[in-house]
A = this chain, B = another copy of it.
Amino acid sequence: MPPAETCTPTLAGFTCGLDATLRVIAGKWKPLILYFVAQGGPTRYGALRRAVRDVSDKMLIQQLKELEADGLVKRTDYKEIPPRVDYSLTPLGRSLAEALVPLCSWGTDNMAEVTRVFAEREALQDGRIASKRSAAAE
């Protein structure tokens, strides 16, 4: 872990490197997209859609456009008649995807823990909802 000084004084509007990174990968799906494209090489839109589960078309397209605008992914349109398009990583995107690997490992290593914590939280929420309901019923 570098000292605080490497992080505090920076140009532009970023408070530190992490801040800069976050502006680029903020968004519910971007890290996942990056990660899947990194694994599969050039990936067709439909394949990505199936890989990143629960993402809607709207969101996937939107995030892909932003990633493209940010120079992380490259869109290739083959101009074929049933549309064919695929997405691949630029060198910049590839380097970011690599920086994402430790996060992926952390999640894999601590998934049991995370699952447990989330179960507890949901239990609490259900409790609150239940009590709200009963309060409203009076």
Contact = CB atoms under 8 A, between A and B. Distances in A.
B95 A20 contact: no
A10 B71 contact: no
A111 B1 contact: no
Interface string A36-64: 10111000000000001100000000000
A4 B100 contact: no
Give the interface size bracket for A toward B: 35 or more
A104 B12 contact: no
A127 interface: no
B111 A20 contact: yes
Instruction: Give the oligomeric copy count.
Output: 2
5 contacts: A14-B115, A16-B104, A18-B103, A20-B111, A99-B106
B97 A113 contact: no
Interface in A1-37: 1-4, 6-7, 10-12, 14-26, 28, 31-32, 35-36
Nearest to A100: B18
A71 B32 contact: no
Contact of A105 (B17, B52, B104, B108): B17
A35 B105 CA distance: 18
A130 interface: no
